[in-house]
Amino acid sequence: MNRTHLYLIRHGESAWNAESRLQGQADPELSERGREQARSLVPVVAELGAERSIVSDLTRAAETAELAGHADALVDPRWRERGLGVWQTQLEAEVPKEDLTAFRDNRFVPEGGEAWPDFQARVGSAIEDLADRGGSWLVFTHGGCVRAAIAYLTGADALTIAGPSNASVTVLEVTPRRRLRAFNRTGSVRLERASEPGA
């Protein structure tokens, strides 16, 4: 059986990332720094040799895909960021610290927001579709989706998974085994032959 990999690429820095403004499913553009980060992905994604690409329907991911040389990526809204409801557009400093902490610990969901189990199930369904289609995929997406994908695929507690950097690559092996191969890589992403368990 051929190995199928998902190369999850977090979008470059957005204008709102730069000012610590909560985005969720709001749709800001990349900052100039984010555009530079996206352009720097061109040799990285070429090295990966993925056969196809897919992208969130949000602008910051679409811009990243385009500047990285994949303007023709298929759009799948299941790869969009977790919904933050009434918090979207607010500065982090404007949200009560205890509520933000409880949200990050999955103990609280803001009004109109997306509960973690629903979010992880959405991302999981997107993973299963790509696994069924086979081949290796570049997935231009968001930090929350990277965490949800790792938790879904490996069974890890989402609270133990750090958020990835902007314009980083995380690699999941979907078939024949399901495992995390690389996390939060910037620059070259060379995958050595995977060792067998216990080796």
Enumerate the β-bridge partners of residue 14: 30
In this structure, the dihedral spanned by the alpha carbons of residues 193, 145, 178 and 54, taken in order and rounded to 10 degrees, is -70
Residues 13 and 38: beta-carbon distance below 8 Å: no
Residues 121 and 148: beta-carbon distance below 8 Å: no
Residues 5 and 131: beta-carbon distance below 8 Å: no
Q: Considering 13, 63, 81, 114, which one is annotated as catalytic?
A: 81
Q: In what order do the strands lie in the sheet with 179-185?
A: 74-75, 52-55, 137-141, 4-10, 169-175, 179-185
The verdict on whether 70 is a catalytic residue reads no
Query: Residue 108 — φ and ψ, nearest 5°?
Result: -150, 140
- CA dist., res. 88 & res. 22, Å (int): 5
The DSSP element (H or E) to which 137 belongs, if any, is: strand 137-141
The verdict on whether 81 is a catalytic residue reads yes
Closest CA to 45 of 11, 69, 20: 69
Q: Considering 5, 11, 70, 142, which one is annotated as catalytic?
A: 11
Residues with active-site annotation:
11, 81
